[in-house]
Amino acid sequence: MPSPRDLWAYHSSADMLRGVDFLPAEPQGKSKNTGVGSSSLLQWIFPTQESNRGLLHCRRILYQLSYRGSPISYDLMLILLHLQRLYLQTRKVIFTVPMAGNKGRGRAAYTFNIEAVGFSRGEKLPDVVLKPPPLFPDTDYKPVPLKTGESEDYVLALKQELRETVKRMPYFVETPEEKQDIERYSKRYMKVYKEEWIPDWRRLPRELMPRKKCIKGPKSKKAKDTGKGPSLTNPADVLKKIEELEKKGDGEKSDEENEEKEGSKEKSKEGDDDEEDDAAEQEEYDEEEQEEENDYINSYFEDGDDFGVDSDDNMDEATY
Amino acid sequence: MTQAEIKLCSLLLQEHFGEIVEKIGVHLIRTGSQPLRVIAHDTGTSLDQVKKALCVLIQHNLVTYQVHKRGVVEYEAQCNRVLRMLRYPRYIYTAKTLYSDTGELIVEELLLNGKMTMSAVVKKVADRLTETMEDGKTMDYAEVSNTFVRLVDTHFVQRCPLVPATENSDTGPPPPAPTLVVSEKDMYLVPKLSLIGKGKRRRSSDEDATGEPKAKRPKQTTDNKEPIPDDGIYWQANLDRFHQHFRDQAIVSAVANRMDQTSSEIVRTMLRMSEVTTPSGAPFTQPLSSNEIFRSLPVGYNISKQVLDQYLTLLADDPVSLFFFLFSFFYYLHKALGSLATATLESVVQERFGSRCARIFRLVLQKKHLEQKQVEDFAMIPAKEAKDMLYKMLSENFISLQEIPKTPDHAPSRTFYLYTVNILSAARMLLHRCYKSVANLIERRQFETKENKRLLEKSQRVEAIIASMQATGAEEAQLQEIEEMITAPERQQLETLKRNVNKLDACEIQVDETIFLLESYIESTMKR
């Protein structure tokens, strides 16, 4: 919470500065507004209004100003002088603590011992800070030097080594980067060959498994990427597939098929043999799914496929 | 999870596993447990990548899954476990001090891979050790397995939860995810394996050949293998045990600083005796009689029974301590951790605000509640400065105010304002700051590395070229010419970079030590 000192500083300096600019900028009558505005300003400046003659004087002048509507330059100067003097004086007044139960508006009566807070009346306060603190402030005390020793050096070396090692592990999943147009000579020597890592599928939820089993090295990677099923870029194959699947005689299949056809535009071609195998595997998998989720397929969308993930168009088709 | 923790987790995950895993991991930490599709949808990554990321995270014990009704599997991230990744070098170093190089490599492999079977660990470690040995010598599997068994016996390595063996796999449809069973009694049971073999040394001529055949070779060796005898039994590093070890170390060194070497040895013996029997969160160790302690003292220490009794009474009477004495001795661990956390706070105040502030802080700590006037009197510091210091510490939340109103309307003039130190909240605040500072350190290090990326790449390329030329046999002059490709000011820049990076890394390690102390203290208060 802001300390009372800050509050005072904010109100007094900001308003007063505004007020000082405010008065001379008003040449002639915006009559009543001037009077009202500046009187409230004056009340801020002169908290102890009853005892202050200056306030009465200023008020009189201002009322005259506002009602007569004529510029009175001499009086304006007088007002400014008053304000200046009072500004310098009031900077020394420490608190206007607004208290309920105070008599009227006014007396700067502090309901607690001002000495207890740490500074007495008439003392100069530190300047108001009007900007955020610096990003790297100066510290009075230097930080403690780091520990040095054999064990610390060893742990440091371990840390840096670990940092390098983890980049080469198969767990470090790299973001696919765009190809560079010129292949550099040094890339030959800097390529890191990572081992393939195959998790133990028995320990993981089945939905995390890619749809196709990993067969051999480079092909399996492609298989994982596609992950959905056979790519049907050939219309002849599509027809064949439709026939196969029609044996199941399920409406569900046609949807999946549609989805595959749409999705297959992104995939790479594979050999026919693979497609056969894949079709067989896919059928098996679908069979299992059919068995489990019999009652809930139509209304509940948890069928573990990559169904409708990449295209929202499918959503309409699938809901019954 | 606080923002600072999440930021730190994201930086750690990015360094270890790359950006995709980091995105998924941070999303899970932020949002709690989620099913697969929601993750893919919210993060905007493809389902394949999410699956791969989840596999990696589960393998490293950072994410757990749970099967809810209707077959939905939800994944939840463990933020605390992610923060442990900062401490990996310390675990590995501890293993080295206790079990030498073999133990070190075992723990390193386990930490890097999350979980592994025993045979896989033994084989890999043996291979690595063989490479570092001189020509002609190989590392025997038996030695490595012995060290492994010793690690398990002292509970530094434990078994992962098992997949229950279901015989009735054809009765119903298989569940969407296996529910893993933790068997307490089997946790440290090593299966009877006879691993016979020696470590294989990778011949240096293989490294020059083009990468393709080398990449294929490991796959071939795994293909034509006989079934692994301990299939399905995975082991992981038991981080709690390591923490217990660190805590004991901290206590022993604190006692050594406060008293002398002998008393620290006594304390070490006591702690070691109750190592395996005390559960990790217990506030007290097992009660021990002084006879037992006498018998278990290390052989080198020839102190008589009376001297031991004297030491024990001394330790028990120490006000700061750590010890409790009824009819037998047991170690009041919670209080020990509290003292350590308090000492950390005191030193932080001292380093940040100066020794006078530290004096005030310790005073308030000792007297529990003090008025402002009393602070000035007791600390013997002039009023204005005392106030200034108190307010400074108050603004940084090391000290808090306690109001005691005299009247029901809480009028400020008629209220006592007492300064007090709430250790728990100050510890939490400091811990939060530590997380922030580690995150800043990592960011700064990454920034420094990125700034000089071009230079680093150039030096790497030059090194690669030199290495290849040396291998194919080149003259000294040519090598020198290539070395001169990096100019002297660039070399200096590299030196500066290296120094800065080392410094930042060392800072991270030390801040992590403070994090450990504070975390253990907070944890011990939560368990009570």
* pLDDT-derived band at B127, boundaries 50, 70, 90: confident
Of A172, A288, A309, the CB nearest to B18: A172
Whole-number pLDDT of residue B347: 92
Mean pLDDT within B219-237: 62
Comparing C-alpha atoms, which of A264, A174, A199 is closest to residue B19? A174
- Going by pLDDT thresholds of 50, 70 and 90, the confidence category of residue B414 is confident
Greatest extent of chain B over all pairs of C-alpha atoms, in Å = 93
pLDDT band at residue B314 using 50, 70 and 90 as cut-offs: confident
**Mean pLDDT within A115-129:** 64
| Chain A CB contacts of B17 below 8 Å | 166, 171-173
> Mean pLDDT, to the nearest integer, of B126-133?
85
- Beta bridge pairs of residue B402: B418
What is the domain-level CATH number for residue B87?
Answer: 1.10.10.10
Q: Residues B84, B190: one domain?
A: yes
As a whole number of angstroms, the distance between CA A289 and CA B524 comes to 48
Q: Please indicate whether, in this complex, the C-beta atoms of B47 and A225 are within 8 angstroms of each other.
A: no
Same domain, B25 and B123: no
Given a cut of 90, whether residue B97 has pLDDT beyond it is: yes
Say if B344 falls within a structural domain: no
Check CB contact under 8 Å for A199 and B55: yes
In this structure, the answer to whether residues B276 and B382 fall within a common structural domain is no
Domain finish residue from B77, B110, B126:
B77
Could A190 and B60 be called an inter-chain contact, meaning their C-beta atoms sit closer than 8 Å?
no
Which of the given ranges, A16-20, A187-191, A244-248, B383-387, has the highest pLDDT on average?
A: B383-387
pLDDT at B448: 93
Given CB atoms, is B67 within the 8 Å cutoff of chain A?
yes
Q: Would you call B354 and A144 a contact, using CB atoms and an 8 Å cutoff?
A: no
Query: Quick check: is B303 in a domain?
Result: yes
At B231 the three-state DSSP class reads coil
Highest mean pLDDT among A9-18, A21-30, A83-92, A289-298: A83-92
The shortest C-alpha distance from A86 to chain B (Å) reads 29
B15: closest chain A residue by CA: A163
**So what's the pLDDT on residue A248?**
63
Closest of A38, A275, A302 to residue B68, by C-alpha = A302
Q: Which residues of A touch B508 (CB under 8 A)?
A: 159
How many angstroms away from the CA of A53 is the closest CA of chain B? 32
Q: Which of B43, B77, B111 is where one domain is finished?
A: B77
Kindly state whether residue B367 falls inside one of the protein's structural domains. yes
What's residue A54's pLDDT? Answer: 54
Neighbours of A24 (CB within 10 A): 12
Residue pair B248/B255 in contact (Cβ under 8 Å)? The answer is no
Does the structure show a pLDDT above 90 at B301? no
Q: Does B356 touch chain A (CB under 8 A)?
A: no
For A244-271, letters b (16+ CB in 10 Å) and e give ebeeeeeebbebbbebbeebbeebeebe
pLDDT level of residue B445 (50, 70, 90 thresholds): very high
Amino acid at A170: P
* Structure token pair of residue B292: 């037992």
pLDDT band at B226 (very low <50, low <70, confident <90, very high): low
* CB spacing of B413 vs A112 below 8 angstroms: yes
Contacts 24+ apart (CB under 8 A), B184-189: B186/B159, B186/B162, B187/B158, B187/B159, B188/B152, B188/B153, B188/B155, B188/B158, B188/B159, B189/B159
What span, in angstroms and rounded, lies between the C-alpha atoms of A56 and A292?
92
Looking at the structure, tell me whether residues B34 and B112 fall in a common domain. Answer: no
Q: pLDDT-based confidence at A87, cuts 50/70/90?
A: low
Instruction: Please report whether residue B211 resides in a domain.
Output: no
> Is A224's pLDDT higher than 50?
no
Check pLDDT > 60 for residue B91: yes
The answer, for B482 touching chain A at a CB cutoff of 8 Å, is no
Please check the confidence at residue B58 and state whether its pLDDT lies above 50.
yes
Q: Summarize the confidence of residues B52-78 as an average pLDDT.
A: 88
Give pLDDT, residue B290: 75
Average pLDDT over residues B479-489: 81
For residue B405, report the phi and psi dihedrals to the nearest 5 degrees.
Answer: -80, 145
pLDDT of residue A304: 58
Q: A173, B216: Cβ pair inside 8 Å?
A: no
Q: Is residue B140 part of a domain?
A: yes
Chain-centre distance for alpha carbon A257: 42
Q: Please indicate, yes or no, whether residues B107 and B121 belong to a single structural domain of this protein.
A: yes
- Would B170 be classed as within a structural domain? no
pLDDT band at A201 (very low <50, low <70, confident <90, very high): confident
- Please tell me the least confidently modeled range out of B192-206, B360-374, B432-446: B192-206
A224: chain B residues, CB-CB within 8 Å: 48, 52
Residue A251 in this model has a pLDDT that exceeds 80: no
Cβ within 8 Å of residue B80, ≥6 positions away: none
The nearest CA of chain B is from the CA of A124 a distance in Å of 14
Q: Which residues of B touch A309 (CB under 8 A)?
A: 37, 40-41, 46-47
Tell which of B313, B331, B349 closes a domain. Answer: B331
* Domain hosting residue B48, numbered range: 3-77
* Tokens 């915006």 found at: A30
Facing residue for A166 by CB, picked from B90, B112, B174: B112
> Is B68 in the same domain as B85?
no
pLDDT for residue B370 is more than 80: yes
Across the interface, whether the CB atoms of A208 and B54 are under 8 A apart is answered yes
Contacts of B228 in chain A (CB under 8 A): none
Are residues B312 and B322 located together in one domain of the fold? yes
Give kind and range of the element (H or E) at residue A165.
helix A150-168
- What integer best gives the mean pLDDT of chain A? 58
Q: How far is A133 from chain B (nearest CA, A)?
A: 14
pLDDT of residue B499: 94
- Whether residue B502 is found in the same domain as residue B439: yes
Report the chain A residue with the minimal C-alpha distance to residue B211: A193
Contact B269, B297 (CB under 8 A): yes
B132 touches chain A (CB under 8 A): no
Tell if the CB–CB gap between B52 and A227 is shorter than 8 Å.
no
Is residue B195 in a domain?
A: yes
Show which of residues 234-293 on chain B sit within 8 Å of chain A, judged by CB atoms: 234
* Chain B: closest CA distance from residue A271 (Å): 22
Neighbours of A230 (CB within 10 A): 24
In a shared domain, residues B52 and B83: no
User: So what's the pLDDT on residue B206?
Assistant: 38
**Do B430 and B479 fall into the same domain?**
yes
Please indicate whether residue B189 or residue B307 has the higher confidence score (pLDDT).
B307
For residue A63, name the pLDDT band (cuts at 50, 70, 90).
low
Least confident of B296-310, B320-334, B502-516: B320-334
Total structural domains within chain B: 5
User: Can you point out the beta strands (E) in B190-292?
Assistant: 234-237
Residue B433 has pLDDT above 50, yes or no: yes
Report if residue B477 sits inside a domain: yes
Give yes or no: residues B411 and B444 share one domain. Answer: no
More confident residue, A7 or B510: B510
Average pLDDT over residues B332-353: 88
What pLDDT is attached to residue B155? 85
Question: pLDDT value at position A22?
Answer: 41
Mean pLDDT computed over A216-224: 41
Cβ neighbours of B109 in A, within 8 Å: none
Q: Which residue has the higher pLDDT, B482 or A213?
A: B482
Q: Are residues B270 and B367 in the same domain?
A: no
A17-51: per-residue pLDDT in tens?
Answer: 444 444 444 444 444 444 444 455 555 555 444 44
| DSSP-derived secondary structure for B199-210 | PPPPPHHHHHS-
